[in-house]
Structure 1
């Protein structure tokens, strides 16, 4: 009898294989994700990995998708405080070894692989929508000047860009003070009294 997606053994083997692939990605990049390596690390048969992912690119895409951290999911509290807290969580995620591999792989492959481009666009597209909604709410509460919602991409790049540069290009691990300073610099022009 074939296993279905509702079979707990199939779900468990898939979860274990994805965790193994994520570890391999962190240790050596996408080239380390092979059927044999994933099967050995997950302690499942190679046929099990093939059954879940008939091609290696699908396994890599699922690995990257499961390892991506949601961006700009803010609540409805004071915007600046929530943004600093959220960006500190992003920085903590960036400081993990797998994060650099995930971001580098998605960005590098997005130029030539439509599936990776879709993953990149989906992650950053949703992030932009979340941030735009949070900015509109902050404007309505009088925390920021009107019009900032039209500059969501610019604001996101002024906040996330420096943190990515520090982590990926310089190998530094952004700390709480760096995160707060980056957020404050990006929001300075949009303060109600600016």
Structure 2
């Protein structure tokens, strides 16, 4: 069942990881999936555990368009109501559950490190002039997309994404 959930996550994204879809893919009854993971957030957390986070991986030059594509991908996923709901549920669960908190911390650390590596690459290539703390970079770029999707329940336009990327420094 975990392998089926991870396959759905990797192939179709967060909104594909449902009790019904996991049961179909694993060839088991839906009740069996519910017995192991009574809540959807538990099922998704299990699927995400050990699964490679696909966003912000393998930066490429020029970094600015690459970063815009990565943020656009994140914004598009979060624009799906089920994905936004699960993301917020996972974040909320991290406030009171140590296992959720640990997994969230790992994801945040991974995103922060990847964004920082991309920005360092841009600075080294002379594409960007910036002096921003790594944790601030992630908050400046990812935070507004989450806010737009979850709080305003609206799409993040390409212009919005571009302005976010431009906010981290001077691009050449």
5 Å-filtered alignment, 1:89-104, equals: 89-104=73-88
Q: 1:48 to 1:17 in 2, by over 3 A?
A: farther
Q: In the alignment, what sits opposite 1:15?
A: 4
Task: Check the 8 A contact 2:79/2:155 in 1, yes or no.
Answer: yes
The counterpart of 2:144, out of the listed 162, 168, 177, is 162
Larger Rg: 1
Query: Could you tell me how far apart the structure 2 residues matched to 1:40 and 1:72 are?
Result: 27
Q: Give per-residue Cα distances to partners, 1:152-190, cap 9 Å, x unaligned.
A: 211221111111111101111112222112222x22xx2
Gaps of 5+ in 2: 9-13
Q: In the alignment, what sits opposite 1:183?
A: 165
Query: Could you tell me how far apart the structure 2 residues matched to 1:141 and 1:77 are?
Result: 8
The alpha-carbon deviation at position 73 of structure 1 amounts to 2.1
Q: In the alignment, what sits opposite 1:29?
A: none
Q: State the structure with bigger RCO (CA 8 A, min sep 6), 1 or 2.
A: 2
Instruction: Show structure 1 runs of 4+ deviating over 6 A.
Output: none
What's the C-alpha RMSD, in Å, of the aligned pairs?
3.7
The counterpart of 2:61, out of the listed 45, 52, 77, is 77
Count of aligned pairs: 164
3-state SS of the aligned residue for 2:153? coil
TM-score (norm 1): 0.67
Q: 1:153 to 1:71 in 2, by over 3 A?
A: farther
5 Å-filtered alignment, 1:122-161, equals: 122-145=106-129, 147-148=131-132, 151-161=133-143
Gaps of 5+ in 1: 1-9, 20-24, 27-32
3-state SS of the aligned residue for 2:129? coil
Task: Check the 8 A contact 1:78/1:138 in 2, yes or no.
Answer: yes
Task: Check the 8 A contact 2:6/2:51 in 1, yes or no.
Answer: no
TM-score (norm 2): 0.74
